[in-house]
Structure 1
């Protein structure tokens, strides 16, 4: 990313009420110093935005202790560095086998340590409570053909015994990168809406969105920068923007901050319940072509193999923001519109099955027989690129 791209992305993140970025860095990356300088410089130019370091122990092996200390101490004095309880907050991706390293790291940096150790899990984390200050779970997606529940989050919170829990939120997951032996999906579907409802209910100390720009796993909510798309991922990322998911974030994030209430009169954000439509769906029905080897669930971690079309449903997913009761009409191709009711001010969500229909998707917010907002999405088609179903989704919104 160029300095200008860093700056524009930070401005976009601030606009949707995100406080900061967690910067995933790997030990073999020779350009890490340059990238971090660009990130911190951009955050400081924009202002009102923070950054934290997340050391990736799953890409290139474990970090040497002295390099971790170096990076924490190098950036802790930058004005964009995020501090919690007077200490620079630091995270990881995996690395529980190096847990003992953090005794020396914390002594040398006084960091507030909230690792993500999915290779450990909530039951085993209790044996590390003398080292960690909290924990970040990577368990953001349901397994199989079901909705995500909060059982894992509650287990983490109980195991942490009062230490802060960083809850993961993600809208989607599909990856097909044979060079890294990755080709599976987990259910996204309604996840972006219902997961935020769970956040509001559980009120964790922190939330981390997975992710801003991981194009290879299809859970990006930021702009697509072509240079950052891994080889092979362009076939399912390009032409499939996810930017419109950010339209909903100010409402979800403010509801979390205010214990479930979004106050449209807050002077800080000037939120209004202006009529808005956000929609997402796969443009290929699951039966339209080859699954291209994609499995439902990750067999590499022992999960049961399911057909991807069972896990990822053939549906149009629609969220709307309205200020007063409204009627929502959702039409696929020339089919009969589905009509649902939004009962009052706030964010409302539904899904509508393809039911064999193909063609352009049209959605309207109607109130007192007048169209208040409308959106038109790309056609659902059985014509698949290279004969393969694209398991990524298209996300759009009304003007």
Structure 2
């Protein structure tokens, strides 16, 4: 078993927090990446907005891949209506892996950038992308292309966006000083890829090294850095989209890194991307109605209780917390555990796609995140796997994280007070199996400890 205390989890980053303190009060926004898809009605938009607001999320970053089809424009309008009615914000993150050039999305941006629900920073409409750092749009360089087709084109209408794209695809390993010299068009940057270990890195935990480099160089250039925070990335759609990027304790480890680095903004990946399995909110059936492959590994896999861990973190981050010990629950405790119901050794003989690349980097574990108040003392976690107790773990005040090797069968985690009484517990919703003739599913079941 492995157990991380709030102090040891960020020991290597402890000295870094002092480097990034004194953040502008207008910063520290927390967003959730939201894949725009078909919606069944306004009730779905309202539910998403209200759930996110309860977590203290400031805005959805609307990933837009289609700017003209009615299913997309209707969903966007429903979301803006819901946001306006609930004092919530939205901004666009245009998907440049699909869209060809800024002129494609500028009419939609112009339509909504003045909306009361549109998120603004320093009085300017916030604008992001997924990719686009390598695209020049016929200009002499990507920077010249974005300057002419985005900034200059909008300036003609008196609009000055606060442009914070994800330009991971620009061609460099990370956002170094040369990037900011070559891309003065940006007001900041966001990274998508640093949220998880790469498949090629093997069995390692997520690192914040790329984020540290980006943050230092962004600030040196007078820019901002938006740091990604995610749980896992598992895709199982077709031969070209079949991979596993480590989950395990990725989410709480990443929380510790955010608190240590104190980035200007945080973007949670994602609210509802069922295709990549890192959703923390509802995945409405209309959005994946035409994607049976995604339905096969996301239907019945509820991730809502990752919100129980994230909500106290968001409040702590905004209040200046720099360590996991400062992330405390709103009540007596809060927590969840998550596990894969299929062992990594499974043959998956009936699945034509086979095991995802990176499967060997997975670990057969019960992963636990438990938040306890500052006054907590003598509380332990009792972990059952396969019907028997496999671990009893100590805890500390703040956000605790731990892993325990998993066995086939049912799973259960109990929170036990110093006097032996059970304060809370959660039981698995699906037994762990050693093999399957069905889908080779590396998605997670997330269980509430209540």
Per the TM superposition, whether the score is higher than 0.5 is yes
**Residues 138-163 of structure 1: CA deviation (Å, up to 9, x unaligned):** 12111221001111101212332231
Q: Which has the higher contact order (CA 8 A, sep 6+)?
A: 2
Report 1:1-399 matches (<5 A): 1=39, 2-27=41-66, 29-31=68-70, 32-47=72-87, 49-59=88-98, 61-65=99-103, 67-96=104-133, 97-98=135-136, 99=142, 100-104=144-148, 105-107=150-152, 108=154, 109-120=159-170, 121=172, 122-123=175-176, 125-139=179-193, 140-143=195-198, 144-160=202-218, 161=220, 162-178=222-238, 181-229=240-288, 230-260=291-321, 272-290=330-348, 292=351, 293=353, 306=358, 308=359, 310-323=360-373, 324-325=376-377, 326-343=379-396, 345-354=397-406, 357-367=407-417, 368-382=419-433, 384-399=435-450
**Residues 70-113 of structure 1: CA deviation (Å, up to 9, x unaligned):** 22221121111000111001001111213333323223221011
Q: Secondary structure of 1:196's match?
A: helix
Are the counterparts in 1 of residues 383 and 390 from structure 2 also a CA contact under 8 Å? Answer: yes
Structure 1 residue 274: Cα displacement: 1.7
Are the counterparts in 2 of residues 273 and 321 from structure 1 also a CA contact under 8 Å? Answer: no
Q: Secondary structure of 1:340's match?
A: strand
Using structure 1 for the length normalisation, give the TM-score: 0.88
Q: 2 CA distance for matches of 1:35 and 1:85?
A: 28
Q: Secondary structure of 2:388's match?
A: coil
Q: 2 CA distance for matches of 1:150 and 1:271?
A: 25
- The root-mean-square deviation of aligned C-alpha atoms, in Å, is 2.4
Q: Secondary structure of 1:12's match?
A: helix
Are the counterparts in 2 of residues 53 and 91 from structure 1 also a CA contact under 8 Å? Answer: yes
Q: Secondary structure of 1:386's match?
A: coil
Are the counterparts in 1 of residues 132 and 169 from structure 2 also a CA contact under 8 Å? Answer: yes
Are the counterparts in 1 of residues 260 and 322 from structure 2 also a CA contact under 8 Å? Answer: no
Distance 1:95 1:203, change over 3 A: same
Q: 1 CA distance for matches of 2:56 and 2:416?
A: 29
Q: 1 CA distance for matches of 2:372 and 2:226?
A: 30
Q: 2 CA distance for matches of 1:369 and 1:94?
A: 52
Are the counterparts in 2 of residues 285 and 380 from structure 1 also a CA contact under 8 Å? Answer: no
Q: Secondary structure of 1:337's match?
A: strand
Structure 1 residue 383: Cα displacement: 6.0
Distance 1:13 1:141, change over 3 A: same
Q: 2 CA distance for matches of 1:187 and 1:37?
A: 35
Distance 1:262 1:147, change over 3 A: closer
Using structure 2 for the length normalisation, give the TM-score: 0.79
Structure 1 residue 322: Cα displacement: 2.2
Q: 2 CA distance for matches of 1:157 and 1:276?
A: 31
Q: Secondary structure of 1:185's match?
A: strand
Q: Secondary structure of 2:168's match?
A: coil
Are the counterparts in 1 of residues 309 and 335 from structure 2 also a CA contact under 8 Å? Answer: no
Please, which moves more after superposition, 210-219 or 224-233? 224-233
Please, which moves more after superposition, 378-387 or 220-229? 378-387
Matched with 1:267 is none
Q: Secondary structure of 1:70's match?
A: helix
**Residues 231-265 of structure 1: CA deviation (Å, up to 9, x unaligned):** 311111011100000011121112211221699xx
Structure 1 residue 359: Cα displacement: 1.4
Matched with 2:27 is none
